[in-house]
Structure 1
Amino acid sequence: MSGSGSPELSVDGSGLRVAVVAAHWHEDFMTGLLEGARTALKEAKVEEVEVVRVPGSFELPVVCAALAPNYDAIVALGVIIRGGTPHFEFVAQGVTSGLTRVALDHSTPIGFGVLTCESEAQARDRSGMSGARESKGYEAAVAAITTAVILREAASDS
């Protein structure tokens, strides 16, 4: 886990409508992810933010799909930690494919803040919690709003 190469906030998100869809599983890590996303949105001057909580990461795509027509960007947050069964692979692949499909079908940027980790220690390091090396919630929000601004500018140029 490098922590290098993460996006920097360099856009003004004023006027954007953003939804943050966050799972409940692994609540300690989710608290860090949510705070990171909220911090990035505040720094980008996004004032219209709705936070929607879902049971787990697997539910992220369907809720994001329902919300996509009403928002300029969505930040999807979840935590999937490998266990002793193939469940990890199925959930991680389903969530990733589902969120990709939602973004493409609705032309709505989705910041991918779903941690797929081998251990709780990895999740802690990426969650943005106190002492963490990375804040994937922050990074996901930056990616979503930056892409939304790019799409807004592209639409105004045409």
Structure 2
Amino acid sequence: MVGAGSPEFSVDASGLSVAVVAARWHEAFMDGLLDGATRALGEAGVNDPTVVRVPGSFELPVAVAHLARTHDAVVALGVVIKGGTPHFHFVADAVSQQLARIAVDSGKPVGFGLLTCDNEAQARDRSGLSGSHESKGYEAAQAAIATAVALRDLP
């Protein structure tokens, strides 16, 4: 089962400055991801995250890099669904690599909420919509703030 073994988080992230960058492509799935991320942040005490919408997943890294300068953590949310051309692979790979680079270069956690799916059914199942088995937006936000709290507590 996908998601089996996921860690349980319970952190107090109040006082952290957190941003969420969400793509607009695949609007229904994005709504589920964004709802999950903001719910996770609220449960952890982050009640007013900065939310920025960008056109698509390819635009996530530039906005995340900008926000990593002024926030303790950033959550990146997007959906890329495989089609009949190699476009899927180029976008998924480029965005994934750049988000990891931004996290390391900035020293700020970047929650990885980029769904890379073979079809819409997989995206629905991971987007946190009613009937979904997983909420990757929720999980990405939890990971980002848990890491930010861990970093905050380091000497």
TM category, shorter = over 0.9
Q: Is the 8 A contact 1:113 1:137 kept in 2?
A: yes
- Match runs of 1:125-140 below 5 Å: 125-140=125-140
Q: What are the equivalent positions in structure 2 for 1:1-158 lying under 5 Å apart? A: 2-154=2-154, 158=155
| SS of equivalent to 2:69 | helix
Distance in 1 (alpha carbons) for counterparts of 2:81 and 2:137: 16
Q: Note the residue ranges of structure 1 that are not aligned, 5 or more in a row.
A: none
Q: Are 1:16 and 1:46, in contact at CA under 8 Å, matched by a contact in 2?
A: yes
Q: What's the secondary structure of 2:9's corresponding residue?
A: coil
Distance between the aligned counterparts of 1:35 and 1:135, measured in 2?
A: 9
Aligned-residue CA RMSD in angstroms? 0.8
What is the SS of the residue equivalent to 1:70? Answer: coil
The separation in 2 between residues aligned to 1:66 and 1:11, in whole angstroms, is 25
- TM-score (normalizing by structure 2): 0.98
Aligned partner letter, 1:116:
T
**C-alpha displacement of 1:45:** 0.6
Q: Secondary structure at the residue paired with 2:49?
A: strand
1:88 deviates by 0.5
Shift of 1:3: 2.4
Superposed displacement of residue 99, structure 1: 0.3
Q: Which runs of 5+ in 2 are unaligned?
A: none
Percent identical residues: 67
Deviation of the 1:69 alpha carbon:
1.0
Using structure 1 for the length normalisation, give the TM-score: 0.96
How many pairs does the alignment contain? Answer: 155
Q: How many angstroms apart in 2 are the aligned matches of 1:48 and 1:28?
A: 23
